Structure 1
């Protein structure tokens, strides 16, 4: 059955056509996002939800999203999506961070020109029939120093355009390497140095705990007298009240804001101040950008729903379509390993340690980690998946550690999962054979070769005669057919294990009969999703 996607905001007809061309059923209701009650009523019918900023994806809406697998935001900002609630529901949240890079960078440059030459005020004055030529004395950009805070995708484009304007560019970005700075033709500096030297400062960072009010009152006061600031990134990066005070005192020569701490911005201390240019969050508002992000979100959502490829997800590691094909059996193995550990562990888990050996160590380990953790956490939350599992583990205080190493044994690659509780450590390892089928190859340090089936039975005992006969007789006399029978032991008369692949779930009655023999330390029925 074809996946079904709801578009609840205004998206390009070309984006709608992409879904259709990929064989996805699409329901285009561009005004539905404004009616949250109606959206909550019908969301349960859909596998995907494509939105812009008008649709608010709240916990109430997600409660009813029983089939929903992915939310695609055409644009960068996802403040209108409750990402924690989506993650708990197991829904991937995607955005399109690259579709409006050029448009936003160009808007920042345009705002810099506007505040340098006081263009909006001069235009309004001229429209009013005045001819105040001497009032609007501007400054040139050529030769001036531009301080760029954040030299990522958009910031780097601004740097390039500013260099074309013959500006001296200094950049502050903790993640900017010297090699990258040299290639961009900018000087890498610390924030205080940037503030002391810049004639213009433009912001291009996300809003985080580290960047909130990065241009605080204290930092704004460090700017040279007459400096101008531009914010086309995110509201909350600048102390707007402090900026207003410093504009009125003359310390700042001007400011241009496209984003505000509270939006829609109906009131703001920056409004109606001289040489302050304000626009209503227009950074991405060009025909080209709106088309680009709509097409990108349609392609990304289609790829995920049809092939499992994950691109630009905020709560899930990215997985290309090629990776999804190669990693499919390994992802399934990771889930099985986690599921085995989860079903065998009754006490709270403190840590999960995952070892990747050989060829699998070169794969997308973030995605494999998510699959392992999802397998484990299903024991505690039946509806958990790769998206929600890391959040569930984090909420429980579980520490996750990963190690990868070159091939160290007979297998070209294998995965070993160890969980730590207050009482014990428990481990299991597995590999994928050339036929693409996952296998368990070690449990508690005991080597085995076990095919994985939907219904299985695990037993442990002291190595002694009669175990195989007891298991076979008990299964047979109770009508349980054994498809595969795997044995392993540490040493003669030491600890031994058995893993049976059976045709149906082993009943509590059969488990009771096995325990009654007194021959087993542990008897545990197991279930695996092998579809």
Structure 2
């Protein structure tokens, strides 16, 4: 009988579910790291919330551990790479908190509109300042939605019920899905210019960090009100305080902060600012939902081998895994490449398999492509949940197999469709194991996709390579490998460099301004 430890406070129904489904359960909460390490070796499963830290040391002390289940969305307290190396499945429950978090965002929007916390404090102090608190109606106002995934779509639905107009910015939101949600699809700049209220519902990644920077806050409509119940770090808190002090932002409500617990913040004490201590998921219903879901998922895995909402493994049979594993690495790198190269919203994606690849299970390969593509925007996406996230955003995904014989024994091609048209990349396996790029936007080019890289589109002309080398040398950025390709003599060319360190922003701007450069992009794999 599998044995499970519940190490954080959880609804009692979780333990009941485990027992009903054939697992032995211990509920021992409040353990420190040493205490957890001392007993974790007994258990096949570990059910946690946010308090337990599943570090590499804890995993090293858990030879029997097969699965860690997080009752909630965030897994910042789990060392996923270490878990993967140990063969431990990491699961979360990404949808149990959705309604609760969406409702909290709506509640904060009402509180901002009517200055409820300040009015309450004033009234209870005996002041009766009726003329001081002049609110605004939500009806006919424009709500700007940054992130139109599961929670964002619920917020949109509630806002439409309040007779608000909703504009949404999400790189994966298709026009068809926007129509289905009843929202106007917009660029970020369009949203900032139009919105009376802005609410954020996107993960914290390199591309979303400080998405409301000082520069973008300045682009907002004067008098805007901002709500964040997603992740700390999406908003530059210092810039937000300055905008509140100047009156450019009429009000802000944050449930999440860069540093948590938020014992101090530049925003504390600022007029027209509301804060709550990360209460987005804090309702009795949500706590029951995530507890039940994590117990069901973990028991299903431990007893039956079923995998749901796993963050670090694909859905593969034991027979398929050895054959398909090299293709998953290739597919994820190709997806990551197009995800980083495309600045326009992606409307559709096609995964084509040719030669030996056409005989394999296409679903995990497509999942790996989508995971690489969407990891630019999400820190929890993987081969298991990427297809769902793509479907949720209305992304058109196609799988195509070709029986034809091509230039390579096996080939995977990824083609994305944007408003600007179609672009594709293709790769193969060298020695049936090593992933290798062989075509980039129609230009033949062989390259490894690894580490830090710099992609450049330029005019093919004498002296260009020297200028690039000089620019990187002056910035003390060392070139590892150099890969070139061109459409025709003196036509459009492409250059893919591997470098030893990240490409600094000033260097990227310098490269963009070199004669002949049409486009430059820093990449990371």
TM-score range, shorter chain: 0.5 to 0.7
Residues 354 and 54 (structure 1), Cα distance of their counterparts in 2 relative to 1, 3 Å cut: farther
How big is the shift at 1:86? 1.4
Counterpart in 1 of 2:275? 278
Residues 128 and 198 (structure 1), Cα distance of their counterparts in 2 relative to 1, 3 Å cut: same
Please state whether the residue corresponding to 1:270 is helix, strand or coil: coil
Aligned with 1:52 (options 49, 59, 63): 49
Aligned with 2:117 (options 96, 117, 120): 120
Q: What is the CA RMSD across the aligned residues, in angstroms?
A: 2.9
Contact 1:44–1:64 (8 Å) recurs in 2: yes
Please state whether the residue corresponding to 1:332 is helix, strand or coil: coil
1:405 aligns with 2:401: yes
**Equivalences for residues 216-365 of structure 1 within 5 A:** 216-317=213-314, 319=315, 328=317, 331-335=318-322, 355-357=356-358, 361=361, 364-365=364-365
Contact 1:270–1:276 (8 Å) recurs in 2: yes
Please state whether the residue corresponding to 2:106 is helix, strand or coil: helix
Aligned with 1:104 (options 101, 105, 118): 101
How big is the shift at 1:88? 1.7
Contact 1:147–1:199 (8 Å) recurs in 2: yes
Q: For the residues of structure 1 that align with 2:174 and 2:116, how far apart are their CA atoms?
A: 37
Q: For this pair of structures, how many residues does the alignment match?
A: 361
1:188 aligns with 2:177: no
1:179 aligns with 2:176: yes
How big is the shift at 1:355? 3.5
User: What do residues 85-133 of structure 1 show as CA deviations (whole Å, max 9, x unaligned)?
Assistant: 2122221111101001000000000000001100001011111111011
User: What do residues 382-403 of structure 1 show as CA deviations (whole Å, max 9, x unaligned)?
Assistant: xxxx99xxxxxxxxxxxxxxx9
Residues 25 and 406 (structure 1), Cα distance of their counterparts in 2 relative to 1, 3 Å cut: farther
Q: For the residues of structure 2 that align with 1:23 and 1:42, how far apart are their CA atoms?
A: 21
Contact 1:355–1:404 (8 Å) recurs in 2: no
Q: For the residues of structure 2 that align with 1:40 and 1:354, how far apart are their CA atoms?
A: 49
Q: For the residues of structure 1 that align with 2:80 and 2:242, how far apart are their CA atoms?
A: 36
Q: For the residues of structure 2 that align with 1:259 and 1:354, how far apart are their CA atoms?
A: 49
Q: For the residues of structure 2 that align with 1:45 and 1:357, how far apart are their CA atoms?
A: 44
Contact 2:6–2:28 (8 Å) recurs in 1: yes
Larger radius of gyration: 1
Q: For the residues of structure 1 that align with 2:325 and 2:256, how far apart are their CA atoms?
A: 45
Counterpart in 2 of 1:38? 35
Counterpart in 2 of 1:444? none
Please state whether the residue corresponding to 2:253 is helix, strand or coil: strand
User: What do residues 142-187 of structure 1 show as CA deviations (whole Å, max 9, x unaligned)?
Assistant: 0101000000000000000000000010000010000000011100
Runs of 4 or more, structure 1, over 6 Å off, are 336-339, 366-369
Contact 2:355–2:402 (8 Å) recurs in 1: no
Contact 1:147–1:171 (8 Å) recurs in 2: yes
How big is the shift at 1:207? 0.3
User: What do residues 375-421 of structure 1 show as CA deviations (whole Å, max 9, x unaligned)?
Assistant: xxxxxxxxxxx99xxxxxxxxxxxxxxx973789xxxxxxxxx9635
Aligned with 1:141 (options 138, 158, 164): 138
User: What do residues 470-511 of structure 1 show as CA deviations (whole Å, max 9, x unaligned)?
Assistant: xxxxxxxxxxxxxxxxxxxxxxxxxxxxxxxxxxxxxxxxxx
How big is the shift at 1:40? 1.1
Q: For the residues of structure 2 that align with 1:140 and 1:337, how far apart are their CA atoms?
A: 56
For structure 1, the residue ranges without an aligned partner over 5 or more in a row are 320-326, 340-352, 370-385, 388-402, 409-417, 428-531
Residues 259 and 333 (structure 1), Cα distance of their counterparts in 2 relative to 1, 3 Å cut: closer
Contact 1:316–1:367 (8 Å) recurs in 2: no
User: What do residues 309-367 of structure 1 show as CA deviations (whole Å, max 9, x unaligned)?
Assistant: 111111112x4xxxxxxx64xx325438989xxxxxxxxxxxxx994555x53654479
**Equivalences for residues 361-510 of structure 1 within 5 A:** 361=361, 364-365=364-365, 405=401, 420-421=430-431
For structure 2, the residue ranges without an aligned partner over 5 or more in a row are 327-353, 370-381, 384-398, 405-427, 435-525
User: What do residues 160-217 of structure 1 show as CA deviations (whole Å, max 9, x unaligned)?
Assistant: 0000000010000010000000011100000000001100000000000000000000
How big is the shift at 1:22? 0.6
How big is the shift at 1:41? 1.3
